[in-house]
Chains A and B, each alone.
Chain A
Amino acid sequence: MAVTELRVLSNPEPEGPGEHAAAIYPDWESVFQDNVVGIYQLVFRKVGNAADAEDLAEEVLMQTLKTLRLPAPVPAVRAYLVKTARTVLADHWRRHYAARDAANELEQIPIEIVANPDAVDRAQRLLGLLPDHFRNILELRFLRGYSVREAAHELGVTESNARVLQFRALRKAAELEREVLR
């Protein structure tokens, strides 16, 4: 979306119930208050830790607010926030992990400013699709908070084997997410 599309300086007052003019954000504080939690959660779902989520949510909001001309319609602002979030997240994965494919994928998949839309359900479905030995290690680690050592003990394998099992399980989960859940 071109930035110029967001330059709305006036808006006719719609009073009739059948009219659907877009709601307006009057100033940057409104954009911030209405979206900061949603942006944080959107970003968190793609980085998985609070420290990176805070930095990247700030970057998304900062970039957007520096470019926007306000007042501006709510849907246009949100669309622009999401577009910026895609770019910021993709750049994060490229810059810190040289993960070009993951970054390219982030720029393609749909993401929304919604509080935890179906993350828990999606993760449970993902675990349910895995073979037992893969599901067991991931449930112990991610749902029950076991360390690698504790998980290895529970499964009767060495720590080294538990790490390999976890790696294989995560790769299988990634494959299933790509092929089945998307």
Chain B
Amino acid sequence: MNTRVTATPANDLSTAITSPAARNWRPRWLPVVGGAAVVTTALTVWLGLWVTPPDQVQGNLARLLYIHPAVATVALYWAGGVALVGSVLYLWPRTRSFFWDRLAASAVEVGAVFSALTLITGSLWGRPVWGVWWTWDARLTSTALLLILELGYLALRRVPADAHIRARRCAVAAILVAIDVPIVHFSVQWWNTLHQGGTILDPGLQVHVHGSMLWTMLLSFVAFSLIFVWLLAMRYRIEVLQDAVGDQELEVSLAERWSEDPELVGAGPSSSGPGSGPGGKGAP
């Protein structure tokens, strides 16, 4: 994969990213966010499954609504928003830096995972309530389209290219992904859909969830938002490391094997041959 970033005058941050300080980026707040995510998620499960009362109409199935809208919020607004902002700031000449490109890429991958989780948890709610796992409803279809677009973005990112060209292509692709977000959001208003409207607020911004149900739902939004921040930071770190290693990935992998397994002595490229050991398993 040709993703190694070289320092050029047009990109100041690429220099910083390959510096030791950038490579060792380990924010102190990350464990705090991770711990808070665990605590709030545990509280959400406890409140959602045991404390809140069953719904008057849906019974216990309403407990899924403490999870599904929060997961969808991460997929749509947090991931989509970060991807859009990162991509626009990369394309904007005055703010162009690989930081924004990597942030957008990280957000799209996390977003794809949460889009898939949104569709699965939605299906698990739809089957007993609507009687079907899936229907070509505007909200469901536009959400599935979002997942497909995100997977397309991730595929595009794996196409070998110069780092600047790849970043520009991906920024345009991320904007296309983000265009689908308002379509998903307004689909329940623009079309006559089976899917319900806003979960907490109706279009007139009137709250129609109350008491422990409301607090549990709000807590689940906090929990999944914290999970998103943690996952995004982890994914961003991987993106930095990938670019730091870059083209030397194959050489590094081989060097790792040679350094770990003394039995591979003699199986290296310079000594591979008829008498170079069993199968020459260390040879490229």
> Do these two chains interact?
no
